[in-house]
Amino acid sequence: MTGYNAHFGEPVHVIVSGHPPVNWFLPTLWWYLVTLLATIAAMPATIYLFRRCVGRGAGFGRPIGMLLVIWPVWFLSGWSDRLGVWTGPMLWASLVILGVIGWALALRHRMITVDTLRHFALAEVVYVIAFAAFLWFRGYGPDANWTEKPGELMMLGSVMQSSSMPPHDAWLSGESLNYYYLGYAIFGGFGKMTRLMPAEVFNLALITTFAMAVVAIAGVIAMVLGRFYGETAARIGGIVGMLMALIMGNSWSTWKVLIGEGGPDYWNGIGWKASRIFRDSLDPDYPYNPITEFPSFSFTLGDLHPHVMALPFVATALGVAWALLTLGRVEDGQHFWRRDLGRIVLAGGLLGSLYALNSWDFPTYAGIAALALLFGTVGLGWRTQLGSLVVLGASSILAWLPFHLHFTAPSRPVDSAFGDIVGHIPVVGGLLQSIALYQGDPTRPGEFFGMFGFQYTIMLLLLVGEVIRRREPVMSYRLRRMGEQPYTDPYTHYFAIGFGVLCLLGAIILPVHLLLFCGLPVIVIWLLLERDARLTPANVSLVLFAFALLLLLIPEFFYISDIYTGSRMNTVFKVTYQVWLIMSVASGIGVVALWKSLRWNGVLRVTLPAVVAAMLTIGLAYPLVAGQQWLDWRNPNREWVGIDGLAYLKSEPGSMDAAEHAAIQWLWDHADENDVILASGGGEWDYAVGRVAGATGIPTVMGWIGHENQWHLGDSEMLAGFSQRVLDIDAMYQLPLNTELLDKYGVTFIYIGPVETNGAPISHPDPGRMSTTPVEVANNPDFPGEGWELVFEQNGVRIYQRIVP
């Protein structure tokens, strides 16, 4: 069977799983129970933070629990690799201590009520349903051997093999991972606790992420709506928003299906192409058009990327923002700092995790939370407001300080006066220095609506409804009934008109079309809020929409310079992914708010649900069609495989691939992080290259050189040595053995497998790009010679271990 290689643009052969599932139930059940224990252990902390919120934060129990369990051990291990505390027993101790202290305080202060337990139980039921559903789907194609999955498996394996943080880089011996790796640390930490293999944890992490995101996104919407309406309305809004955020595809993919152009297969149909609908250049050979990924695409493809793993945590961040907005006034006899200092510190710690999870998310959601805290402390005095923001910001940085000290942003500095000024700012200077001015083609209207058509439609419906509801005579009457005098600042109208004219001129002259489609709605929202700024579901929805639209304008003018020089590919990707979630949450809240405001019109109260239901229905075109396309590619026989990401290696018993699976198991059982494997390395997108190191977390001299270039882009000195590593691999696969080089890299194992014997799947002729394969000495009976012992041999796969004198 063939699939499309996204990097090289040519068909390549892939191995398709075709064997019965083995040993999936008990590992899955054990994993579920351990994450449930984490949820229970952290329940008091969750309730404490969301004390004034409907449901007490039940939708965020599992992401908060998993984060709080790993954090103390992660924090300690991040200060010195000599401590070696990143271990399963230490993580179990953290869980027990968290649970004992938390529950002791909760029982003492009577925080646990029947209603609270009911909400947590309901959240768990929804989680189990979502977990089981995605387990069923993922089990048809669990293979971690395509797109960027080998690199993601490597990061997970590195975390699980390491005893300190940051984890070592299994594709770059002697160095640590330079990436936002916290998602891998969370799931890898629980992999250590459950003692599962990285290839199993890979799929369980993806399944857990999906289920947590379902509960968290529905939970944050229901939490907001539950403050104003009944449980039924809150849950309906949660379902609508969750479906739009995680299940539905973009409107471009729906349109393609409706006109009969869904495509013949995954790579040439909507399955893949829905994630590439923005075109910065109409040149068909231009390789760096923006990525327009959305969660339904992500979970269908099944890559365990940081932006995917961050989904339940960014939904939790929105919940944290709501908790900060609704801290409540200080009653007589209460002291703000005594009451809420701990909550703000905990909130800051949770927000700060986003920088280590997926760094692009941190400024966005920290900004939303800071604004929420600012308005949530109105009336307490400017000193209290400023102090609250300082505490929130400081805790978000200090809680994750080890990460900030080790991480170098993988960006390319731009030669500019601005870059020279900001380059010396601690922590963020390198990132700010890489901000570049975008001078390419703007986003076209068709591309914009092809991406966000569904959410934008709901926003327009809400805007029209609120404009009618807040028109001058009606608003004045309502304010007088509440004992207030209507007041409109004329300067606000002048400013709005001026800003509107600028947006219109910019859309025509520059031309940046999104100034019209994003700028004008923001102006209308601003005017609506100026007329009625009370805390209402409609206003929450409108503010989120406005925030998302302003975010969309950023990549029209600026982008982060990275390995794709001169391209805004990643900037558009990261921004639109955030906007998708924010607008989906706003849609879930806005639909219910709009429906509730239509009590004066029975026809519209029936029409609106019908329109939304129709939109949700046709929006399911992507998961239904793309899901089928993906299964046709990965598993045309529809044989359920299980959770082992390396199961495809065992599809042909007696083959070298099957022997490599056994070799991986042997290394997992007998080697550790202090070992180094000599194996073929370099290249890019070769799923067989670096596989043994990635699947075990045992370092090798060099894995995928292209990805290592990307991850270490900010370290020019390290980049200079990558090609030499590849050449050194060739030199070490020679007789007589080059002892000096073997000692330099600390090689303790020599591996002869499918790549070393038969060659790499993709050829890289450039010297220093890919080590020579097949290895000439692979079948030499004299290799490797004295000082090495054959410790594993099966079907041509061999592992030699260095004999320590």
pLDDT tens, 656-706? 999 999 999 999 999 999 999 999 999 888 899 999 999 999 999 999 999
Q: What is the pLDDT of residue 612?
A: 96
Q: How confident is the model at residue 340 (pLDDT cuts 50, 70, 90)?
A: very high
Mean pLDDT, range 492-521, rounded to an integer: 90
Is 733's pLDDT higher than 50?
Answer: yes
Distance, CA of 611 to CA of 251 (rounded, Å): 15
DSSP code of 751? E
Mean pLDDT, range 596-603, rounded to an integer: 84
Is 722's pLDDT higher than 80?
Answer: yes
- Taking phi over 0 as left and psi of -120 to 50 as alpha, with beta for the rest, 489 belongs to beta
Provide DSSP, 25-57: HHHHHHHHHHHHHHHHHTHHHHHHHTTTSGGGG
Is 66's pLDDT higher than 70?
Answer: yes
CA 343 to chain CA centroid, Å, is 25
Residue among 34, 42, 93, 94 at smallest CA distance from 63: 42
Q: Which of 51-60, 278-287, 381-390, 573-582 has the lowest mean pLDDT?
A: 278-287
Q: What is the pLDDT of residue 661?
A: 96
Q: Which of 29-33, 80-84, 729-733, 784-788 has the lowest mean pLDDT?
A: 80-84
The helix (run of H) or strand (run of E) holding residue 223 is helix 198-226
Mean pLDDT, range 487-496, rounded to an integer: 73
Is 191's pLDDT higher than 50?
Answer: yes
Task: Enter the pTM of the model.
Answer: 0.94
Span 104-160, pLDDT tens digits: 999 999 999 999 999 999 999 999 999 999 999 999 999 999 899 999 999 999 999
Mean pLDDT, range 592-621, rounded to an integer: 92
Span 738-751, pLDDT tens digits: 999 999 999 999 99
Residue type, 537: P
What angle do the packed helices 569-597 and 198-226 form, to 10 degrees? 40
CA 441 to chain CA centroid, Å, is 28
CA 183 to chain CA centroid, Å, is 8
Q: How confident is the model at residue 7 (pLDDT cuts 50, 70, 90)?
A: very low
Residue 146 phi/psi, 5-degree rounding, is -145, 165
Q: What is the pLDDT of residue 275?
A: 96
Q: What is the pLDDT of residue 140?
A: 95
Distance, CA of 146 to CA of 155 (rounded, Å): 15
- Asked if the bond preceding 166 is cis, omega within 30° of 0, the reply is yes
Q: Which of 120-134, 424-438, 633-647 has the lowest mean pLDDT?
A: 424-438
The most confident of the ranges 176-185, 488-497, 767-776 is 176-185
Q: How confident is the model at residue 334 (pLDDT cuts 50, 70, 90)?
A: confident
